[in-house]
Chains A and B, each alone.
Chain A
């Protein structure tokens, strides 16, 4: 039985094989997205409800002073637009994680993971694909928002792109990390309550942090420590052609940490390995 010989000089994979794999995964994610029109619509309706209804009611309550990157007084709608863009990505990242749990239950994740390419690379492709889908959603939102008088400088639409890619990767890796720990689909409601809502509300998405500080210094620190706050600020500044260096650093570091942790969690010899297959084995 000791027939496992020493043939283990890896042939490796060529750059074009990696590229084929990456485009294939992004292409499939795009196709799936096109087939799930409800998902696109709900991804758009959610921020638009906030913009059209919540912001309209709330702007009488909350005055916004002039804070960077804004140079004039702005409407409340303008203030929350970057937060809503980040919210789209937050939901998309968590929804991708939902689809990974679903994939795992349906077995599609198995198809991905038996690919001979390195597993870390496969998961990275999956993250990029999810981020690409979130970009489509965010830009669709920006187009509609433009008609609602949210008109950042034209160059902002371009400079916000790298910020969106980075924040999309961060929120996607966070979702992936969470998905590795979720056994079943029903637990997604828990993710909503314990991840999405706290991250969204304890951030600078809906109100400037100095306002929070006036209300509760402790909450202010929580908001400061929330990576989502920095995703929002990174997007906010980038939308006006500026860079918020602190936010960039926080989002960059968080992306790397979450991604490594997620890839680690999906390593066969750890994370998943200790678990018995759902629904017993056959």
Chain B
């Protein structure tokens, strides 16, 4: 077992207090759309400076969970905290520390790259001058400096995603949520985005929650949360989840876990 500790080791933490408070804590969260239960008593944490993959098929409840964390929907039951700030009671403090990349594109296609970034900065109350400096810096990091004045409409899918990630980092959040960010991208763009986000984890200590249904995006050191039909079936370091499922790899582990769920008596 390569990664025995369920919680990231303190020596990996740039900040000592970070180890004590999870970047994201989901505590007994349930959600229903009328009679349909989309989430059932979901509990898990995302540690700072960790890459947590939220693994689930379409319809597993990933997007509902994201809508709850980002306060698009109100929480029906349970609690969600971002670095200890309850999102229902202190939404401002919580959202300040949160960066999000939604699954659908959320850029203004007719505005330029810089204009999109400046708008987002303004929404966070970041002054124009500071916003301009940060935009320049972030555009350089994602290699789009020359395109700064172009309309977003003219970018490729991969470039748009990189821009969205840059935008999500503009207010320097410490927790980053990404909802299936590589859907519809080619192999090269996918690889670039994954490595970029992993760098953020190791270099800046950002806690990442990465929702996906693509098993090849997960690496051995990652934390895993397996969500199926609104329930968390397994969680923990990837190697532990695999071994506990009695499998050799994530794919088999996932099939075994969700297959078991589909047995008689296990339906939602």
Chain A residues close to B by CB (< 8 Å):
1-5, 7-14, 16-18, 20-21, 23-25, 27-28, 31-32, 35-36, 106-108, 110-118, 122, 267-270, 272-277, 280-282
Complex CA–CA separation, A98 to B86 (angstroms): 33
In the complex, what's the smallest C-beta–C-beta distance from A10 to chain B, in angstroms? 5
The 11 sampled A-B contact pairs (Cβ below 8 Å) are: A2-B27, A4-B27, A7-B84, A20-B128, A31-B110, A108-B106, A116-B91, A117-B124, A122-B123, A273-B73, A282-B63
Residue-wise interface mask of B (121-153) relative to A, using a CB-CB cutoff of 8 A (1 in contact, 0 not): 111111110000000000000000000000000
Interface residues of B in 53-76 (CB under 8 A from A): 58-59, 61-64, 67, 70-76
Complex CA–CA separation, A9 to B93 (angstroms): 9
Which residues in B have their C-beta under 8 angstroms from that of A280? 58-59
Complex CA–CA separation, A112 to B120 (angstroms): 8
Q: Which of A3, A8, A17, A272 contacts B72 (CB 8 A)?
A: A272
Report the nearest A residue to B90, measured CB to CB. Answer: A8
Residue-wise interface mask of B (100-115) relative to A, using a CB-CB cutoff of 8 A (1 in contact, 0 not): 1011111010110001
Interface residues of B in 20-34 (CB under 8 A from A): 21-22, 25, 27-28, 33-34
Give the number of chain B interface residues (Cβ < 8 Å): 66
Q: Which of A5, A11, A108, A116 contacts B95 (CB 8 A)?
A: A116
In the complex, what's the smallest C-beta–C-beta distance from B69 to chain A, in angstroms? 9
A11 and B93 contacting across the interface, CB-CB below 8 Å: yes
- With A3-B25, A11-B93 known as contacts, the answer to whether A110 contacts B73 (CB < 8 A) is no
A268 and B92 contacting across the interface, CB-CB below 8 Å: no
Ranked nearest first, the 10 interchain pairs of A and B with the lowest CB-CB distance are A24-B122, A269-B74, A17-B125, A4-B81, A107-B106, A281-B63, A116-B95, A115-B123, A7-B84, A8-B90
Q: Which of A4, A13, A269 contacts B92 (CB 8 A)?
A: A13
Which residues in B have their C-beta under 8 angstroms from that of A20? 122, 125-128
B74 and A18 contacting across the interface, CB-CB below 8 Å: no
Complex CA–CA separation, A1 to B6 (angstroms): 13
Complex CA–CA separation, A174 to B123 (angstroms): 24
B93 and A107 contacting across the interface, CB-CB below 8 Å: no
B102 and A112 contacting across the interface, CB-CB below 8 Å: no
Which residues in A have their C-beta under 8 angstroms from that of B73? 268, 272-273
Q: Which of A1, A17, A108, A115 contacts B108 (CB 8 A)?
A: A108
Complex CA–CA separation, A23 to B127 (angstroms): 10
Q: Which of A24, A112, A117, A270 contacts B121 (CB 8 A)?
A: A24
Which residues in A have their C-beta under 8 angstroms from that of B225? none
Which residues in B have their C-beta under 8 angstroms from that of A116? 91-96, 124-125
Which residues in A have their C-beta under 8 angstroms from that of B79? 4
- With A13-B125, A20-B122 known as contacts, the answer to whether A1 contacts B27 (CB < 8 A) is yes
In the complex, what's the smallest C-beta–C-beta distance from B2 to chain A, in angstroms? 25
B28 and A1 contacting across the interface, CB-CB below 8 Å: yes
Which residues in A have their C-beta under 8 angstroms from that of B229? none
A5 and B84 contacting across the interface, CB-CB below 8 Å: yes
Which residues in B have their C-beta under 8 angstroms from that of A36? 110
